Structure 1
């Protein structure tokens, strides 16, 4: 079954988030300390991912073009409005700042979707029916979802939708992707997309620590533009 790994990954996120909801009523000082710890760990994960780049120029151009597109369409505001719309209908306690669905959704989606394991695991599932990578990723995501949900709330669970759609689409189209795109392009894309996404994850950690207020969602298009830039780079260089 091509989508087995993706579905298991999604189930782990749901279960982890559901367990996390039981720990949302812990004292404020515990939550703050846990949030700081999560922020530091997320920064470390992002740095490790960012350092995998083999061409910093591609990463820089991806972030620049992605930022321009994100600001033009004001993606941050659209996602925030969507999250608030959901929050008004799902959460009766609208004033609970620790149940920010928009923040939880954006943060968890980035953490779960951006990275080599998501892409490689989905490709392995689609091309070779090998789901070991996604099974491993599912266990990791489930634990991260549990921890994130204790501080960011219900929005973390909603991230399962883009995760399943993203990985499922890659798995279903894996044969066509391999047929039309050269292996060198796929390898470079996975590498540089991981590095670009790693910097976005660093930004998440910095925001969680209240060091910065980076509009992360407006940088999200860079994860797509990195593929276009790599294509142009390989075409002319």
Structure 2
């Protein structure tokens, strides 16, 4: 029985609720400084995943083609529209967070959506539990996500809670498919997958810190391409 995805999703919902309801009591300097720390941690974790790479040319090729596909499919634009709709619906029932424009809201919402739902830790943790029944990796992510969602909810309001839903769906799907996927994955392929996930986490961290606005959501197709590209590189070139 799967446990990790539901615990992780619940943490995001609870953290979002706590952060949104306590926003008025948290000093502005804390709201401004902690996201920078989360962004820094995302960069650090991303770097730790990047150094595991086996075939960097395959990863680079997957990132370039994947991002091009994401741009052509307007992935980030679609997520942005969904984020705006989510904010509108939630604001009808719950108090909205004032002082944040729609563009600023979408910018931050997309970044944390990728941070929560597409991190290498979450994807690998879900696959690991599906294959072994061990949810320990997702438990570690749960602790981080609880505090991260709370802080971002002080800026984005109750909309952060909604992220818990796609997070659970994605992780459950990965866990259920893990028995079919993992036997076909070589260690080198997993290393390159971790590298691609690390690059996304670095881009997400830089975006959260407002250093550079990478099209993070449009980069997501690279995660689908990187393992096949790694396998092809190993067998045809490497």
- Regarding TM over 0.5, the answer is yes
Summarize the Cα distance change of 1:188–1:166 in structure 2 as closer, same or farther, 3 Å threshold: farther
Match of 1:125 among 123, 129, 150: 129
Instruction: Indicate if the aligned counterparts of 2:31 and 2:155 stay in contact, CA closer than 8 A.
Output: yes
Does the alignment pair 1:4 with 2:3?
Answer: yes
Where does structure 1 lack aligned partners over 5 or more consecutive residues?
Answer: none
The 3-state SS of whatever aligns with 1:85 is helix
Q: Cα RMSD between the aligned structures?
A: 2.5
Alignment correspondent of 1:146: 150
Where does structure 2 lack aligned partners over 5 or more consecutive residues?
Answer: none
Q: Deviations over 1:173-200 (max 9, x none)?
A: 2222245x2x41xx33432222212222
Instruction: Indicate if the aligned counterparts of 2:75 and 2:217 stay in contact, CA closer than 8 A.
Output: yes
Does the alignment pair 1:97 with 2:96?
Answer: no
Q: Deviations over 1:84-136 (max 9, x none)?
A: 12222222548641786534442233223334432343233222322222223
Summarize the Cα distance change of 1:101–1:196 in structure 2 as closer, same or farther, 3 Å threshold: same
Quick one: distance in 1 between partners of 2:181 and 2:38? 35
Summarize the Cα distance change of 1:64–1:11 in structure 2 as closer, same or farther, 3 Å threshold: same
TM-score, normalization by structure 2: 0.84
Matches within 5 A, 1:216-235: 216-235=216-235
Quick one: distance in 2 between partners of 1:33 and 1:139? 19
Instruction: Tell me the matched-pair count.
Output: 232
Quick one: distance in 2 between partners of 1:141 and 1:94? 21
Instruction: Indicate if the aligned counterparts of 1:39 and 1:208 stay in contact, CA closer than 8 A.
Output: yes
The 3-state SS of whatever aligns with 1:173 is helix
Alignment correspondent of 2:70: 70
TM-score, normalization by structure 1: 0.84
